[in-house]
Amino acid sequence: MHPLAHLAVIWTAVFVAVIAAKKTRLTPVLFFLFMGFLLVNAGILPVESDLFIREFAELGIIFIMFSLGFDESTENFLASMKKSWGIAFFGAIGPFAITYVITDYLWNDSSVSLMCALAMTATAVSLTMVSLRSEGLQNSVVATRVMTSAVIDDIGALVAVAILVPLATGAEEFSAGTIMTTAGKAVLFFVIVTILGGWIFPHRLRGWVQRVPFIGRYGVMHLLTFDEGRHATLAVLLLALVVGLMASYFGFHTAVGAYMAGLIVKEEYFQISDESRIVRKTPHTKNVYAETKKIIDKAAFSWIGPVFFVDLGAKIIFDASLLMAVLPYATVLFLGLMIVQVGSAGLAARYTGGMNFHQSLMIGFGMLGRAELAFVVMDIAYVQNRILTDEAFLTLMITAFLLNIAVPLTIRWWRPYYDAAQDLVQPL
């Protein structure tokens, strides 16, 4: 199949998947994966993707992860960390531990178990927010805690991916020295990103940075607002690619760098400032940020990013005997994850986040979803490095599908009890 014909088929599948997601109010990611699975097993898509499609899908990962980071407000994230750290920590440790224990029992391979545990750790905040929005809860304290906890989980999972993937792939051996070296590289990378976001990017430079040639005079704001912001999209995507390549240089996946690049770019950088460095907001500069964000979101979730998910779904070749063999594994893993995820996140919300019982359980249900980052980890472990076996990969895909289905169902089921409890605590 010609690569462009391959892409045309994938984009057609993406359009069908979006319609199906709209009708069912489920995350489009599930349907992207399903369409890839359906088309490859129907013989419409080739079993082995062309190099062009594989590279296009890799670009999709960068767009997706940058967009997820770009969506997050650093200030809101930092402000709610104190009340959400427990939900994030215990809500991630529990699923990681239960997944590792179950998969290690099933396949007795520490590398496979590590990748399975990493894939099942990060929460799909987009799916949860869609489900909460459908119930009118998008502005509730529950939504805020789930959002912040999920972002913390994602960052923690990215750090773990950066450290553990080189070890699991065999690029580094499991030893105290190599673990310390890998961890040191991860720390150094995040320190560099922190310096970029904390000292170099902000327009109001502080301390010694003001005396650095060129950097002391010009900041990222000048780049984003050059020519009245007409090239802001190019600038931020260049930033995502450069930080992604820097992450790759340190031995990590480009997705790690792309996410961090998005996280350190703030809306204020799109506002034009005068020579005295006093920020002057105008309707035009406000539109620059909104238009840039709109373009990136469309690219990430409408026409470039979905190629990654469809291509990943096309890696699942239907095998009835394999499917029947892994269904019991997926069922056990799903039940284990559901119980541990809801229990750990709910208890943490109750005792570290100050939530009442009904709010805590709603937060637990909201933390069940698995989407973008989970499938990025699966792609790294199965497609790029062949750490996961066919059985493990299919087990994780089925488990993620069941968990995602559970999110809207459990939230809708619990909503009347949640509302009743909220009415009881309203002042008379």
DSSP secondary structure, 146-204, as one string: HHHHHHHHHHHHHHHHHHHHHHHTTSS-SSHHHHHHHHHHHHHHHHHHHHIIIIISSSS
Per-residue pLDDT tens over the stretch 351-397:
887 888 888 898 889 888 886 778 888 888 888 888 899 999 999 98
Q: Is 15 helix (H, G, I), strand (E, B) or coil?
A: helix
Which distant-in-sequence residues (6+ apart) come within 8 Å of 250 by Cβ?
162, 185, 186, 188, 189
Which pLDDT score is estimated for 427?
45
Which pLDDT score is estimated for 105?
95
Structural domains for the chain = 3-424 (1.20.1530.20)
Helices 141-168 + 110-119 axis angle, to 10? 160
Which pLDDT score is estimated for 428?
39
- Gap between the Cα atoms of 11 and 57, Å rounded: 12
* CA dist 125 → 68, 241, 365, 368 (Å): 10, 24, 12, 9
Neighbouring-strand partners of residue 279: 273
Which token pair is 303? 């026409």
- Gap between the Cα atoms of 286 and 172, Å rounded: 47
Which distant-in-sequence residues (6+ apart) come within 8 Å of 80 by Cβ?
144, 145, 148
Q: Is 273 helix (H, G, I), strand (E, B) or coil?
A: strand
Which pLDDT score is estimated for 406?
86
Which distant-in-sequence residues (6+ apart) come within 8 Å of 127 by Cβ?
26, 27, 29, 369, 371, 404, 407
Q: Are 285 and 292 in contact (CB under 8 A)?
A: no
pTM of the model: 0.70
To the nearest 10°, report the CA torsion of 184, 185, 190, 196.
120
Which token pair is 220? 């990222």
- The parts of the chain modelled with pLDDT lower than 50 are 274-280, 427-428
Instruction: List the one residue out of 160, 121, 132, 159 whose CA is nearest residue 345.
Output: 121
Residue 353: alpha-carbon gap to chain centroid: 23
- Gap between the Cα atoms of 401 and 369, Å rounded: 9
Which token pair is 355? 């939530």
Which pLDDT score is estimated for 256?
73
